[in-house]
C-alpha cells in the first residue's frame, strides 16, 4: 500500500458493491473472512474445514447480493455476522436433513482472546477438541450468543441487532450458556472469559 492510498471504509465498499464494483467485495473478503470463518467454526463445530470454507464463501456471496439493501446507519459487523449466522443455520438444517454431521478433526479453532487458552503447538489439537466438546454440548441458540460475545466481542445490544432479538433475550441466553459451560467437566479453560460481566 502506497502512502497516498485511501483506505475505504466498509460502508463505502458496500456502496461500491451496490453500484457493481465486484473488486470491493474482494476487499471486504480480505478484511473480514477470517473473523467470519472463526465464527462459523465455533457456532457449527460439526463442520469440516472444507464446509467452513464453503459457508464462508456463501456468506460473502450473500453479502454482495444484499449490498443494495444495506443501510449505512446499520453497524456493518452486525450486518455481516447476521448473514454468517443465517448461513451457518442453513448448513445445520441441510446437514440434519442429509444426516451427515461430520467430525471436525481438521478444523483448527483459534484460541479465544482473554480466555486463558494459550497452548503449545503440541497441545493445540487436544485444546481444539476440548473446546469443540464444550460448544457441542450447548444448544445452537446458546452457542451462537456465546460466540458472538466472547469470540467476536459484541455487546448484548450488538448481538440483539445481529440476531434480531431483544437485548433481554440475549442476556438470558448468555446467562444460560455460561451456566451450561460451567457445568462441563472441562469448563476451566473458559472460566475467566465466561465469568466476565455481560456487556
Task: Mark which of 55, 70, 103 sits at the end of a domain.
Answer: 103
pLDDT, position 105 = 36
Task: Mark which of 74, 103, 132 sits at the end of a domain.
Answer: 103
pLDDT, position 193 = 54
Domain membership of residue 165 (yes or no) is: yes
Domain membership of residue 116 (yes or no) is: no
Buried b (16+ CB within 10 A) or exposed e, 132-168: bebbeebeeebbbbbbbbbbbebebebbbbbbeeeee
Q: Are residues 74 and 143 in the same domain?
A: no
CATH no. for residue 129? 1.10.10.10
Task: Mark which of 103, 133, 157 sits at the end of a domain.
Answer: 103
User: H helices of the chain, where?
Assistant: 10-18, 22-43, 49-66, 76-98, 121-136, 140-146, 156-163, 167-182, 191-194
Domain membership of residue 114 (yes or no) is: no
pLDDT tens per residue across span 104-134: 433 333 333 333 344 444 445 565 677 777 8
Q: Are residues 20 and 94 in the same domain?
A: yes
Q: φ, ψ for residue 113 (rounded to 5)? A: -55, 135
Domain membership of residue 108 (yes or no) is: no
pLDDT, position 94 = 77
Q: Are residues 97 and 40 in the same domain?
A: yes
In whole angstroms, give the CA distance from residue 30 to residue 89: 23
Q: Are residues 141 and 169 in the same domain?
A: yes
Q: Are residues 96 and 143 in the same domain?
A: no
199 residues of the chain, pLDDT tens digit each: 555 567 899 999 999 999 999 999 999 999 999 999 999 998 988 888 999 999 999 999 999 999 999 988 778 998 999 999 999 988 888 775 444 333 443 333 333 333 334 444 444 556 567 777 788 888 989 999 988 988 888 899 999 999 989 999 999 999 999 888 888 766 665 655 555 545 5
Residue among 24, 32, 95 at smallest CA distance from 59: 32
**Structural domains of the chain, count:** 2
pLDDT, position 125 = 58
The pTM of this model reads 0.69
Q: Are residues 90 and 163 in the same domain?
A: no
CATH no. for residue 86? 1.10.1740.10
Domain membership of residue 111 (yes or no) is: no
Structural domain boundaries, residue 53: 6-103
Amino acid at each position: 500500500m502506497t502512502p497516498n492510498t485511501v483506505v475505504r471504509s466498509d460502508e463505502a465498499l458496500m456502496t461500491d458493491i451496490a453500484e457493481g464494483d465486484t473488486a470491493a467485495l474482494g476487499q471486504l473478503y480480505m478484511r473480514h473472512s477470517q473473523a467470519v470463518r472463526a465464527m462459523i467454526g465455533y457456532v457449527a463445530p460439526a463442520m469440516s474445514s472444507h464446509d467452513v470454507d464453503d459457508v464462508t464463501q456463501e456468506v460473502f456471496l450473500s453479502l454482495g447480493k444484499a449490498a443494495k439493501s444495506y443501510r449505512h446507519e446499520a453497524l456493518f459487523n452486525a450486518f455481516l455476522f447476521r448473514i454468517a449466522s443465517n448461513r451457518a443455520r442453513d448448513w445445520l438444517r441441510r446437514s440434519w436433513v442429509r444426516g451427515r454431521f461430520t467430525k471436525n478433526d481438521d478444523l483448527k479453532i483459534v484460541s479465544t482472546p482473554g480466555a486463558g487458552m494459550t497452548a503449545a503447538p503440541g497441545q493445540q489439537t487436544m485444546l481444539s477438541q476440548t473446546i469443540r466438546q464444550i460448544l457441542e454440548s450447548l444448544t445452537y441458540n446458546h452457542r451462537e450468543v456465546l460466540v458472538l460475545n466472547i469470540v467476536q466481542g459484541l455487546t448484548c445490544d450488538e448481538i440483539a441487532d445481529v440476531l434480531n432479538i431483544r437485548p433481554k433475550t440475549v442476556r438470558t441466553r448468555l446467562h444460560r450458556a455460561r451456566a451450561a459451560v460451567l457445568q462441563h467437566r472441562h469448563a476451566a479453560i473458559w472460566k475467566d472469559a465466561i465469568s466476565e460481566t455481560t456487556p
